[in-house]
Structure 1
Amino acid sequence: MSETQPVAGRADRIRGRTAVALAVVVSFWGLILVDEMVVNISLAQIAEALQLTQTELGWVVNAYLLPFGGLLLLGGRLGDILGKRRVFLVGMALYSVGCLARAVAPDAWPLIAARAVQGTGAALATPCVLALILNTFADGPLRRRAIGVYTIAGGTGAAVGLLVAGALGALGSWQLQMLLAGGIGLVLLAVTPAVVAETPRQSGRFDFPGALVSTIGLVALVYALANSQSGGWRTGPVIGCFVGAAVLLGLFVVITRRTRDPLLDLGLFTERRRVGAYLALLLMPGAQIGIFFFLGQYFQMVLGYTPMTVALAFLLVSVGMVGAAGLAARLEPRLGARTVIVLGALMLLGANLWLTRLGAGDSFWTAVLPSLLLVGAGLAFTTIPATIRATAGVDDEGSGSASSVVSAVQNVGSSLSLAIIVAVATTAGAAAAANPPADVPAEAVEGLVFEASMTASFATGAAFSLAIALVSLLVGGRNRAAAPPAAAPAPGREVTHTTA
């Protein structure tokens, strides 16, 4: 007994340290998501304070989105080559400095430059979050739980951001809101070296041509998707960016095939199960973006809720996620990723279909509350097993690149889904405005148009949910492959013991 006690104590200390490390990296990931919601809500206040034109205000948004979307693959690869903690720290520093700089920007262009720095930092740090989780926790229950925590942080960022924006907005200072994220980022930056272990560097040369072509291609794609959301699908710049993105990303594949140490391992896309998980993650935003986008307006325009009440209502999604995350992580190895994803997709389908019945006179408690809880549970049941399957079998050296693909797929999926849902809703609203029922008074037409747009968005979310269920067939069931021989754990790495 005396010989085993020190081992048990050592294991407890390792678990405690990795728990703190997980909390730190996931907290920074959550900070990025919360801050973006705060910025979106504060845009009108910022525009009024700095006298921004609509073009300048658009660049305040795009200056962040473009480097963030374009540099994700680069951030993951740099983490593999230079060390994931090192790149994570650089990303944290850039992001925090950008947050602080935007708060003191005197006019448009310093603000836009600060947002670009912030987006670059987010692109470097984001893929390292999931990669550090993969490197810290070996395949098994602990990794599944850690991915569950990561998923919860991502899924609840919007609701928490609404709460923060509502609370700080009451103080009337958008600078204070901007400073808060920078201050929290600097605190996490100071703590990270003490609690997060560095990962080994990967040998090999850096693929500069691949990095350049993929970055420009992704920037063009993100720009096209962002600008098509306002109905500009057929404009020359948007079409040109879509064509340019297709050509450049195709060229990236050619370069990658001919490069000895490519930016991205194309072998990640040769396994059917992993591709199915990527497709599920790509489609996931489409099942819930319309709910957040239109319900927020419904709460304020129809039900008369204050911004803080809206935030509290959306916290129900977080409640559903937290309640279902642990169960999803436990069911994945027992039922298989495919079954759990299908269950989640059915939850999302039910939530969207239920909301298509929503009208102006309906009660929040019966018409909305069940759907919000169901959305949270559905997101947990779909995202957690899809992320587990997307990163399964990836070794420590390639975890940065694999994580960057997950982040890039989710980012492109969010932009694509929003563009599609806005286009469908706009078309439905225009049709309702053009042909209103004869017995509807003129002053009620605006409400009719909004209701038609909202219903169309929920129907589109239901279609995305069905698509998730279909692509989950590629993911496969339970993984019955024999586990590889266990290797000696790296120092400070969590060790998972199983018994027959």
Structure 2
Amino acid sequence: MIVLDISVVLTGLPKIHNELGFTDAGLAWVQSAYTLTFGGFLLLGARAGDILGRRRMFVVGMTIFTVASVAIGASQSSAWMLSWRAIQGLGSAILAPTTLALLQTTFDEGEERVRAVSLYSAAAGVSATVGLVVGGLLADWLSWRVGFLINLPIGIATVAAARIYIHETKKRPGTFDLFGAVTSTLGMAAFVYGFIRSAQAGWDVVTLATLIAAVIMLGAFVLIERGAKQPILPLRLFSDSERSGAYGARVLYISAMVGFFFFTTLYLQQVAGLRPALAGLAFVPATMLHVPVAVIVPRLIRRFGRNPVLIVGMLIGIVAMAWLSRAGVGSNYWTAVALPMVLIGISQGLTLSPLTSSGVARVDHADAGAASGAVNVAHQIGSSVGLGVLIAIAAIGSNGLNGIEFPMRSTQEPSC
């Protein structure tokens, strides 16, 4: 639901722009309002599950997300939509890490958990592409609103199923890390906002001041965590080299993947001239082998080890990106876009699951939510910071790319 909605919005933006009267500058905030609260509240949402009970927080997060989705689908103004997109981001910040934490505490470490995480990663990876397809079809044939309203029956069914099938985890007594929660939330929000702004307005004084403030707050957060009795992000999570490496690798890999979705969507619509529905369908090759590959990952890891699987997955991704970068005006879709997309699907299937498993490896059940939060923070930094950096780089050379305009970046105001 979380990943699907992010992709549905991308293909629905032109019609959202027209129906709700967004300015070009305001349209960028349809994504940014969500991203800001999602990234800002991730650590708080993750630790809340450890302390208050993970099933309880899963239900809370799903309820917030579902209610916000319905409100977005019923939007009659841009202000209303942006407000509820921010609230939806809060629901996601609770839901995403709690879901992964529940997998950790439900399945024992080893092959059983690897299999569960593989399916979890496959669902997330495929949803990004399926969202583009579904979003394009809905925007063209029905309405972008349906993509949000459909979350109501799904959300109700999921909450009911959670109450029946998921066992509640024990509450943890003690004090809540209030100062850690405040500094992490403000620091992450400022960090994400700074890079969002850099993609929209460039590296001006406000952008630099925001990023400096973020670094100061996150530095204060680390100092607070060192002395906190029950830290919101235990620094002991980073004492394990495998977990730390997985967080760093996830930031870089997700930066590449978000660039793939963003720039390929622009290419298909602005250069190849495809309608939103066809542009969405054009991403189908990226899903063809993703799930089958993700399903066999546990067997591959058992036979070859986690690191070789990761290395092969990333090398395939590098080859695919290099191949896709050759697409230009008049390029054949099947050879220039579809075939490298197939390789990208294989790369995601081989890479995301091992990165997730390594990010929560050998973590005590009491810290399951915090570790899941760290995985999601790495993912969010890759999405927001990575995209901001890539758009800034692309804008430098955009004069040499005929026909391409970069929608969150211009010399005056963001373009749709």
TM-score where L is the length of structure 1: 0.77
CA distance in 2, matches of 1:69, 1:395: 24
The equivalent of 1:150 in structure 2 is: 120
Q: Indicate the percent of aligned positions where both proteins have the same amino acid.
A: 37
Cα 1:46–1:296 shift into 2, 3 Å = closer
Pairwise CA distance, 1:359: 3.3
CA distance in 1, matches of 2:123, 2:268: 24
Residue 123 in structure 1 maps to residue 93 in structure 2 = yes
Q: Is the 8 A contact 2:136 2:279 kept in 1?
A: no
Pairwise CA distance, 1:316: 1.6
Q: Is the 8 A contact 1:344 1:379 kept in 2?
A: yes
The equivalent of 2:360 in structure 1 is: 391
Aligned with residue 40 of structure 2, among 51, 62, 70: 70
The equivalent of 1:471 in structure 2 is: none
Q: Which has the higher contact order (CA 8 A, sep 6+)?
A: 2
Q: Is the 8 A contact 1:98 1:182 kept in 2?
A: no
CA distance in 1, matches of 2:342, 2:394: 24
Pairwise CA distance, 1:132: 0.6
Structure 2 counterpart of 1:199, which letter? T
CA distance in 2, matches of 1:378, 1:425: 24
The equivalent of 1:109 in structure 2 is: 79
Aligned with residue 317 of structure 2, among 314, 329, 348: 348
Where do 1:307-326 residues align within 5 Å? 307-326=276-295
Q: Is the 8 A contact 1:35 1:181 kept in 2?
A: no
Structure 1 counterpart of 2:384, which letter? S
Residue 214 in structure 1 maps to residue 181 in structure 2 = no
Q: Deviations over 1:126-173 (max 9, x none)?
A: 101110111111012221111111111111122111222123223443
CA distance in 1, matches of 2:182, 2:269: 44
Aligned with residue 327 of structure 1, among 292, 296, 309: 296
CA distance in 2, matches of 1:126, 1:37: 16
Q: Is the 8 A contact 2:246 2:355 kept in 1?
A: yes
The equivalent of 1:193 in structure 2 is: 163
Residue 35 in structure 1 maps to residue 5 in structure 2 = yes
Give the RMSD, CA atoms, in angstroms.
2.0
Pairwise CA distance, 1:314: 1.2
TM-score where L is the length of structure 2: 0.92
Cα 1:56–1:359 shift into 2, 3 Å = closer
CA distance in 2, matches of 1:169, 1:44: 9
Q: Deviations over 1:395-451 (max 9, x none)?
A: 211100100100011011111211121122111223x27xxxxxxxxxxxx34x68x
Pairwise CA distance, 1:231: 5.2
Structure 2 counterpart of 1:217, which letter? G
The equivalent of 2:62 in structure 1 is: 92
The equivalent of 2:242 in structure 1 is: 273
Cα 1:293–1:107 shift into 2, 3 Å = closer
Q: Deviations over 1:103-144 (max 9, x none)?
A: 233323332222222111111111011101111110122211
The equivalent of 2:412 in structure 1 is: none
The equivalent of 1:287 in structure 2 is: 256
CA distance in 2, matches of 1:352, 1:187: 39
Structure 1 counterpart of 2:323, which letter? W
Larger Rg: 1
Structure 1 counterpart of 2:84, which letter? A
CA distance in 1, matches of 2:334, 2:10: 28
Q: Is the 8 A contact 1:156 1:315 kept in 2?
A: no
Q: Is the 8 A contact 1:221 1:241 kept in 2?
A: yes
Pairwise CA distance, 1:39: 2.1
CA distance in 1, matches of 2:26, 2:390: 25
Cα 1:311–1:211 shift into 2, 3 Å = same
The equivalent of 2:409 in structure 1 is: none
Aligned residue-pair number: 406
Pairwise CA distance, 1:326: 2.5
CA distance in 2, matches of 1:306, 1:110: 28
Pairwise CA distance, 1:179: 1.5
Q: Is the 8 A contact 1:351 1:374 kept in 2?
A: yes
Q: Deviations over 1:165-223 (max 9, x none)?
A: 12322344333333222332223222221122212222322101110111000000010
CA distance in 2, matches of 1:414, 1:408: 10
Stretches of structure 2 that go unaligned for 5 or more consecutive residues are 407-416
Pairwise CA distance, 1:44: 2.8
Structure 1 counterpart of 2:256, which letter? A
